[in-house]
Amino acid sequence: MPDQTPNAPKATTQAGSKNTSWRFSSESDQARQSLPEAFSTIPVADAGAPWFRRFLAFVGPGYMISVGYMDPGNWATDLQGGAQFGYTLLTIIVLSNLMAILLQALAARLGIATGRDLAQACRDHFPPVVNVFLWLACELAIIACDLAEVIGTAVALQLLFGLPLLGGALLSIGDALIVLMLMNRGFRYLEAFVIGLLSIIALCFAVQVFAAAPPIAGVLQGLVPSPKIITTPAMLYVAIGIIGATVMPHNLYLHSSIVQTRAYERTENGRREAIRWVTWDSTIALMLALFINAAILIVAAAAFHNTGHQNVAEIQDAYRLLSPILGLGIASTLFALALLAAGTNSTVTGTLAGQIIMEGFLRLHIPHWARRLLTRGLAIIPVAIVTVFYGGKGVGTLLVSSQVILSMQLPFAVIPLVMFVSDRRKMGNFVITPWLKGLSWLVAGIILILNIKLLYDTVIG
Spell out the SS3 assignment of 3-62: HHCCCCCCCCCCCCCCCCCCCCCCCCHHHHCCCCCCCCCECCCCCCCCHHHHHHHHCCHH
Average pLDDT over residues 356-375: 77
Q: How far apart are CA 313 and CA 306, in angstroms?
A: 14
Per-residue confidence (pLDDT) for residue 25, from 0 to 100: 38
The pLDDT assigned to 144 comes to: 74
Residue of 217, 34, 43 whose CA lies nearest to 114: 34
In the prediction, which pLDDT does 98 show? 92
Q: Quick one: pLDDT at residue 435?
A: 96
Q: Does the pLDDT value for residue 453 go beyond 60? A: yes
What proportion of the chain, given as a percentage, has pLDDT over 70?
A: 81
Could you tell me which residues come within 8 angstroms of residue 278 by beta carbon, excluding any fewer than 6 positions away?
58, 61, 62, 108, 112, 259, 262
> Which superfamily does CATH assign the domain made up of 52-460 to?
Amino acid/polyamine transporter I (1.20.1740.10)
Lowest mean pLDDT among 63-72, 239-248, 250-259: 239-248
| 192, pLDDT greater than 70 | yes
Instruction: Write down the pLDDT at residue 252.
Output: 92
Give the model confidence (pLDDT) of 172-191 as tens digits.
776 667 777 777 788 898 89
Q: Output the pLDDT for position 387.
A: 67
Nearest CA to 347 among 100, 171, 221?
171
DSSP summary character for residue 431: P
Angle between helix 72-85 and helix 368-421 axes, rounded to 10 deg: 60
pTM for this prediction: 0.85
Task: Count the Cβ atoms, other than its own, within 10 Å of residue 234.
Answer: 11
Residue 440 CB coordination number (10 Å): 22
Mean per-residue pLDDT of the chain:
81
Residue 365: what pLDDT?
74
Highest mean pLDDT among 25-29, 105-109, 366-370: 105-109
pLDDT reported for residue 12? 40
The answer to whether 258 and 38 have CB atoms below 8 angstroms apart is: yes
Mean pLDDT across 377-383: 67
pLDDT at position 175: 67
Amino acid type, 147: L
**Distance between CA atoms of 327 and 210, rounded to whole angstroms?**
12
Which positions ≥6 away from 408 have C-beta within 8 Å? 244, 451, 454, 455
Rounded to an integer, what distance in angstroms lies between the CA atom of residue 167 and that of residue 144? 20
Asked if 447 and 247 count as a contact pair (C-beta separation under 8 A), the reply is yes
What CA–CA distance (Å, rounded) separates 11 from 13?
Answer: 6
Q: Please tell me the predicted confidence (pLDDT) of residue 265.
A: 92
Q: What angle do CA 405, 406, 408 make, to 5 degrees?
A: 65
Number of other CB atoms surrounding residue 307 within 10 Å: 12
What is the per-residue pLDDT for 242?
Answer: 76
- Using the predicted structure, report yes or no on whether residue 339 has a pLDDT greater than 60: yes
Output the pLDDT for position 459.
Answer: 61
- pLDDT given at position 259: 95
37-89, pLDDT tens digit by residue? 889 999 998 877 888 899 999 999 999 998 878 777 677 778 888 889 999 99
Task: Give percent of the chain above pLDDT 90.
Answer: 30
Distance of CA 158 to the CA centre of its chain: 25
- Mean pLDDT of all residues in 335-357: 82
Residues in the chain, total? 461
pLDDT at 341 over 80: yes
394 compared with 196, residue with greater pLDDT = 196
Q: Is the pLDDT of residue 166 over 90?
A: no
More confident site: 176 or 20: 176
Output the CA angle 115-120-123, nearest 5 degrees: 140
Q: How confident is the model at residue 457 (pLDDT cuts 50, 70, 90)?
A: low
Name the percent of the chain in helix, strand, coil, to the closest 5: 80, 0, 20
Residue 424 pLDDT class (50, 70, 90 cuts):
very high
Segment 146-164, tens digit of pLDDT:
777 777 788 888 888 888 8
What's the CA gap between 365 and 355, in Å, rounded?
8
pLDDT of residue 26: 37
CA 145 from centre of chain: 9
Within 10 angstroms of residue 389's Cβ, the number of other Cβ atoms is 8
pLDDT at position 108 is 96
**Predicted pLDDT at 331:** 85
- For 145-185, the DSSP string reads HHHHHHHHHHHHHHHHH---HHHHHHHGGGGHHHHHHHHHH
Residues with Cβ < 8 Å from 335, sequence gap 6 or more?
204, 208, 318, 319, 322
**Residue of 270, 268, 273, 260 whose CA lies nearest to 116:** 260
Question: What integer pLDDT is reported at residue 263 of this predicted model?
Answer: 93
Interatomic CA distance for residues 141 and 135, integer angstroms: 10
Average pLDDT over residues 99-119: 95
pLDDT at 9 over 50: no
Q: Is the pLDDT of residue 374 over 50?
A: yes
Where is pLDDT greater, at 232 or 75?
232
On the 0-12 / 13-18 / 19+ scale of CB atoms within 10 A, 250 is: buried
